[in-house]
């Protein structure tokens, strides 16, 4: 019984209690509109035909980033067996927007889902050697058990929602 | 021994830790350990990943000088600086100069054991810099002014209620803090302001890759990301052993580290940062240019390059500080890192780290808490032989400053190869075979003498044998004597040599007799070896040379039997583990291989005989008798618990098994005055499992001699070896 990478990925997301939705490039805007809690910040997507809702601030100042309820940023890769997404760090501030908001909405292209951690590192190795950039392998919400029980949302987002854009 | 804590003071300290921190430590570490089992079970290629991780580390440490150069060049190419610090003073001075250059007064830190090792916080505070720990556990300890008790969860010894009380006292918050969520929210708000105000973000690094200059940070809270992103200057402090050749090498570690430690498949964030990072800076009211970011790496030697040259300590450098060795350790589960740990590092591997960084003496206080039970060795994701490191350091401590020191007069009087100053307690337990031989020869006088109150008092005063323990009872007449002249099976299928360990030969002779009867009933001709002592007793006291002598004697005694095509069968799992595993360190490779591949635990051997057609009806019938079985720690590590369970089940016993992996006695450990309390605390879990309504009336069965002693003390009902349950009447 071989599951498709998408099925395996969404099963894993369920296990780590992260929400997910699938959508087409054209309907990304409306999909996001239904999920956004304001104030929202985001970075423009490099997906053909996909746009962010008007309400999303794409050139936020530091104070807006620190106080945003929702942050929308892209993932360049996802790992099906873990439910992980690989977050970007770029001059647009993706790293900051994905980190400071209460809810992080990750936008992922379905074709970027790989099966295993080994597959992911097969892609990350050449990329990091080439561009000397950063990549955050993020799996679920920020969490701690240091205060005696599991609590979500410590320094990072409390909720994670993955929007998978079908190709 | 001068300069050492007395046994009585040590006992008092351990009792105090047990009382104040034991409960929180136990529930947390056992939770982590259960989580590890569950999480690694999901991993199809777990063993292969561990092998891969081990190979990568071996290669990286071998090539370390080259990798340091390569990483330095790469980071400089990326726009950062690298400083290789010889020791703590050097590292701290450099970090202070970096802060001066950045004109920094405030530092936000993410969790880093290496900066704990260096004392960076104390150094910077003396220099007038404000330092805040942003990992919640570390922050709690900073507020409480306490040291970490665990590699991964530093405040594991504190309960929620204690943290709430700490915050109430320290911050006097407007609303009462009760739930974990209240406490977390309060901490987050306090820390958010301090992180925003920091001039410098300081992190450790779990791994560094020489090919790209990438650092991997393994966290769940997101504080490492935030401390790096919020400040313009990032300083990372990492031991030189953290360098791996390439990004791809990270993969097995990423899959293993969370599972091995806290039982998470993966932590929330594996940050792969190639600093200076690409995020824009927070520049007042607008976002600044990422190119304004600065990065400085401080690589720390502090004894590590010398550890690399040390054949016994080198493996420590493979450690990825996942905490599996602590969580899987029965003693650690009771006392945590404040008793089982040194200045910085905690758990089984702490001996390697502390000895490597601060010299053997730095491990002296806690090294004996490793009983060599070996449960950590299969938990360690890089397969470090942690018990061996503990044994070697114990041996070096026994020898003191002069590694070659032998007092020949004393050597002539005691049957060991150890230095004159060796602790009497260690000498007594390490030479237990001699004690047993004498004890057996002089029974019943020796039993009467051992049990008499003045003698117990002397044993406690002189040897540190806790007077609440009953010394084992010697039997008159040894197993070897009993076996002599027995008639062999007429037409034996196989021949074996039984290596009757010290206990089986001199004390628990019944189990030896049962083993022989069982084997003979299955058409096996049994010879009894002329040696008893495998060297386990000596090795557990860190008396490596004495253990080697025993190993050589065992090899000499067994080789003619092996030449004659006989298999070696043993009753005591801890002695079998010597032949199967520890002898690799004590004997030439060829000799070790031969002994290792041809030796078997008694019921493992019986299992093999039955698989190969022997008639199970020749064994005793269990008749549905209800039993409670506890397998031995080293037997579990050797993967041999299942064989005994299968046979007991097959011959018709109604069995429940213990989930507790170690009884807490661990050879002589539980006899020692200073460890009696921790030994009993470990045993309590086992006692609890064997006194439930379902188990309270069952016959107790245990494979190890020390488990037998411990269970007898804990339960007030006798324990039996499993072979006695399957042996036919003579």
pLDDT, tens only, B353-384: 999 999 999 999 999 999 999 999 999 999 99
Which two structure tokens, joined as six digits, stand for A67? 């106080």
Residues above pLDDT 70, as percent of chain B: 95
Whether residue B420 has pLDDT greater than 90: no
Cα dihedral B508→B510→B515→B519 (10° resolution): 160
Which two structure tokens, joined as six digits, stand for A123? 């892609």
Tell me the CA distances in angstroms from B153 to B370, B480, B511, B723, one per residue in order.
20, 52, 44, 43
Q: Which of B79-83, B149-153, B712-716 has the lowest mean pLDDT?
A: B712-716
DSSP E strand stretches across chain A: 19-23, 40-42, 56-57, 70-79, 84-88, 103-109, 113-114, 135-138, 143-144, 151-152, 159-165
Contact A54, A89 (CB under 8 A): no
Closest CB from A128, A137, A147 relative to B184: A147
More confident residue, B465 or A21: A21
CATH of A5-165, one of 3.40.50.10420, 3.40.50.300, 3.40.630.30, 1.20.1050.10: 3.40.50.10420
Distance CA B396, CA B402 (A): 9
Whether residue B2 has pLDDT greater than 80: no
Whether residue B517 has pLDDT greater than 70: yes
Distance CA B730, CA B727 (A): 9
Helices (H) and strands (E) counted in chain A, each on its own, are 5, 11
pLDDT tens digit sequence for B202-245: 999 999 999 999 999 999 999 999 999 999 999 999 999 999 99
What is the predicted pLDDT for the residue at B176? 92
Domain boundaries, chain A: 5-165
Measure in Å the smallest separation between the Cα of A63 and chain B Cα atoms. Answer: 7
- The DSSP-derived string for B670-713 is GGBGGGHHHHHHHHHHHHHHTSSTTTTTSEEEESSHHHHHHHHH
Q: How many CB atoms lie within 10 A of CB B580?
A: 22
Give chain A's mean pLDDT: 95
Residue of A nearest to B292 (CA): A91
Q: What is the mean pLDDT of residues A101-118?
A: 97
List chain B residues with CB under 8 Å of A96: 229, 279-280, 282, 287
Whether residue B423 has pLDDT greater than 90: no
What is the predicted pLDDT for the residue at A66? 94
List chain A residues with CB under 8 Å of B213: 132
What is the predicted pLDDT for the residue at B414? 56
Q: What is the mean pLDDT of residues B177-199?
A: 94
Residues above pLDDT 90, as percent of chain B: 82
What is the predicted pLDDT for the residue at B524? 97
Is there a contact between B270 and A137 if contact means CB atoms under 8 Å apart? Answer: yes
Q: Which among B213, B217, B279, B283 is the top mutation candidate for probing chain A, defined by the most A β-carbons within 10 Å of its own β-carbon?
A: B279
Is there a contact between A143 and B221 if contact means CB atoms under 8 Å apart? Answer: yes
Q: What is the mean pLDDT of residues B547-555?
A: 97
Q: What is the DSSP letter of B571?
A: S
List chain B residues with CB under 8 Å of A144: 136-137, 184, 220-221
Whether residue A161 has pLDDT greater than 60: yes
- Per-range mean pLDDT, top range of B325-339, B424-438, B662-676: B325-339
Measure in Å the smallest separation between the Cα of A17 and chain B Cα atoms. Answer: 12
Closest CB from B223, B271, B289 relative to A136: B271
> Is residue A22 packed enough to be buried (19+ CB in 10 Å), middle (13-18) or exposed (0-12)?
middle
Give chain B's mean pLDDT: 93
Measure in Å the smallest separation between the Cα of B419 and chain A Cα atoms. Answer: 46
What is the predicted pLDDT for the residue at B406? 42
Which two structure tokens, joined as six digits, stand for B35? 């989580």
Q: Where are the alpha helices (DSSP H) in B296-422?
A: 304-309, 324-327, 330-335, 350-358, 375-379, 386-399, 408-413
Which two structure tokens, joined as six digits, stand for A58? 């794409």
Q: What is the mean pLDDT of residues B432-454?
A: 71
What is the predicted pLDDT for the residue at B444? 66
What is the predicted pLDDT for the residue at B410? 40
More confident residue, B462 or B241: B241
What is the predicted pLDDT for the residue at B477? 81
More confident residue, B554 or B431: B554
Measured in residues, chain A has a length of 167
Closest CB from A134, A153, A155 relative to B278: A134
Closest CB from A129, A143, A150 relative to B212: A129
Residues above pLDDT 90, as percent of chain A: 90
Contact B164, B177 (CB under 8 A): yes
Whether residue B324 has pLDDT greater than 50: yes
The string over B23-54, giving b where at least 16 C-beta atoms fall within 10 Å of a residue's C-beta and e elsewhere, is: ebbbebbbebbebbeebbeebeebeebbebbb
Distance CA B289, CA B287 (A): 7
Closest CB from A60, A121, A135 relative to B251: A121
Predicted confidence band of residue B409 (pLDDT cuts 50, 70, 90): very low
Q: How many CB atoms lie within 10 A of CB B620?
A: 18
Q: What is the mean pLDDT of residues B46-66?
A: 98
More confident residue, B580 or B713: B580
List chain A residues with CB under 8 Å of B78: 132
Q: What is the mean pLDDT of residues A21-49?
A: 93
What is the predicted pLDDT for the residue at B411? 42
Q: Which of B217-231, B455-469, B642-656 has the lowest mean pLDDT?
A: B455-469
Distance CA B24, CA B158 (A): 6
Q: How many CB atoms lie within 10 A of CB B494?
A: 19
What is the predicted pLDDT for the residue at B468? 81
């Amino acid at each position: 019984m071989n599951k498709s990478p998408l099925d395996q990925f969404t099963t894993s997301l369920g296990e780590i209690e992260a929400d997910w939705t699938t959508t087409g490039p054209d309907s990304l805007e409306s999909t996001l509109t239904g999920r956004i809690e304001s104030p929202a910040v985001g970075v423009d997507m490099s997906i053909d035909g996909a746009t962010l809702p008007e309400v999303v601030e794409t050139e936020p100042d530091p104070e807006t980033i620190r106080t945003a309820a929702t942050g929308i940023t892209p993932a360049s890769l996802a790992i099906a067996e873990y439910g992980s997404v690989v977050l970007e760090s770029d001059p647009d501030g993706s790293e900051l927007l994905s980190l400071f908001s209460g809810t992080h909405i990750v936008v992922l292209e379905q074709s970027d889902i790989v099966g295993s951690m080994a597959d992911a590192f097969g892609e990350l190795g050449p990329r990091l050697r080439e561009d000397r950039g950063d990549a955050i392998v993020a799996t679920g919400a920020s969490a701690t058990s240091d205060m005696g029980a599991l609590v979500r949302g410590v320094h990072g987002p409390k909720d994670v929602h993955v929007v998978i854009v079908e190709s | 021994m001068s300069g050492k804590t007395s046994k009585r003071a040590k006992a008092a300290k351990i009792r105090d830790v047990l009382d104040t921190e034991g409960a929180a430590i136990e529930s947390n570490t056992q939770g982590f350990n259960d989580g590890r089992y569950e999480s690694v079970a999901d991993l199809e290629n777990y063993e292969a990943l561990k092998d891969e991780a081990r190979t990568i580390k071996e290669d990286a440490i071998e090539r370390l000088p080259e990798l340091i150069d390569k990483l330095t060049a790469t980071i400089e190419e990326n726009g950062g600086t690298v400083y290789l610090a010889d020791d703590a003073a050097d590292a701290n001075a450099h970090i202070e100069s970096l802060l001066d250059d950045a004109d920094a007064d405030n530092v936000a830190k993410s969790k880093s054991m290496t900066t704990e090792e260096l004392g960076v916080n104390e150094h910077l505070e003396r220099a007038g810099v404000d330092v805040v720990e942003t990992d919640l556990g570390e922050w709690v300890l900073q507020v409480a002014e306490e040291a970490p008790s665990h590699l991964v969860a530093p405040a594991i010894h504190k309960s929620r209620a204690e943290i709430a009380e700490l915050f109430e006292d320290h911050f006097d918050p407007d609303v009462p803090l009760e739930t974990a969520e209240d406490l977390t929210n309060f901490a987050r708000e306090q820390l958010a302001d301090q992180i925003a105000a920091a001039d410098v973000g300081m992190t450790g690094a779990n791994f560094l890759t020489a090919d790209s200059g990438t650092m991997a940070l393994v966290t769940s809270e997101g504080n490492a990301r935030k401390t790096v992103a919020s400040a313009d200057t990032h300083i990372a402090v990492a031991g030189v052993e953290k360098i791996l050749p390439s990004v791809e090498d990270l993969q097995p570690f990423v899959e293993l580290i969370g599972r091995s430690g806290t039982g998470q498949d993966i932590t929330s964030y594996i940050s792969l940062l190639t600093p200076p990072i690409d995020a824009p800076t927070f520049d007042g009211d607008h976002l600044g240019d990422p190119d304004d970011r600065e990065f400085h790496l401080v690589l720390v030697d502090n004894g590590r390059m010398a550890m690399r040259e040390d054949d016994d300590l080198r493996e420590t450098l493979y450690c990825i500080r996942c905490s599996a060795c602590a969580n899987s350790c029965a003693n650690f589960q009771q006392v945590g890192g404040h008793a089982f740990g040194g200045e910085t590092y905690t758990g089984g591997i702490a001996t390697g780290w502390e000895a490597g960084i601060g010299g053997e003496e730095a491990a002296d206080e806690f090294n004996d808490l490793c009983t060599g039970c070996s449960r950590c060795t299969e938990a360690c994701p890089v397969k470090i032989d942690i018990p061996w490191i503990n044994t070697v350091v114990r041996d070096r401590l026994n020898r003191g400053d002069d590694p070659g020191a032998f007092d020949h007069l004393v050597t002539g009087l005691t049957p060991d190869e150890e230095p004159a100053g060796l602790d009497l307690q260690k000498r007594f337990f390490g030479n237990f075979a001699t004690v047993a031989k004498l004890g057996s020869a002089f029974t019943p006088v020796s039993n009467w003498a051992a049990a008499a109150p003045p003698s117990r008092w002397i044993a406690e005063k002189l040897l540190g044998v806790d007077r609440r323990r009953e010394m084992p009872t010697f039997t008159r007449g040894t197993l070897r004597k009993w076996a002599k002249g027995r008639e062999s099976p007429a037409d034996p299928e196989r021949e074996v040599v039984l290596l009757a360990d010290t206990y089986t030969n001199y004390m628990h002779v019944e189990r030896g007799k049962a083993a022989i009867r069982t084997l003979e009933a299955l058409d096996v001709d049994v010879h009894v070896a002329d040696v008893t002592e495998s060297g386990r007793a000596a090795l557990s006291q860190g008396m490596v040379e004495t253990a080697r002598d025993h190993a050589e004697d065992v090899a000499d005694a067994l080789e003619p039997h092996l030449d004659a095509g006989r298999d070696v069968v043993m009753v005591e799992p801890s002695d079998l583990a010597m032949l199967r595993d520890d002898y690799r360190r004590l004997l030439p490779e060829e000799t070790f291989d031969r002994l290792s591949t041809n030796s078997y635990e008694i019921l493992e051997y019986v299992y093999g005989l039955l698989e190969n057609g022997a008639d199970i009806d020749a064994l005793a019938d269990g008749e549905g008798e209800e039993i409670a079985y506890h397998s031995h720690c080293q037997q579990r590590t050797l993967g041999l618990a299942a064989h005994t369970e299968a046979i007991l089940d097959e011959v018709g016993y109604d069995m429940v098994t213990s989930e507790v992996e170690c009884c807490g006695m661990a050879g002589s450990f539980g006899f020692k005055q200073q460890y009696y309390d921790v030994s009993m605390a470990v045993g309590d879990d086992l006692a609890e499992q064997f006194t439930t309504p379902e188990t309270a009336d069952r016959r107790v069965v245990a494979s190890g001699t020390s488990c037998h002693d411990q269970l007898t003390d804990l339960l007030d009902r006798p324990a039996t070896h499993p072979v006695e349950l399957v042996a036919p009447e003579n």
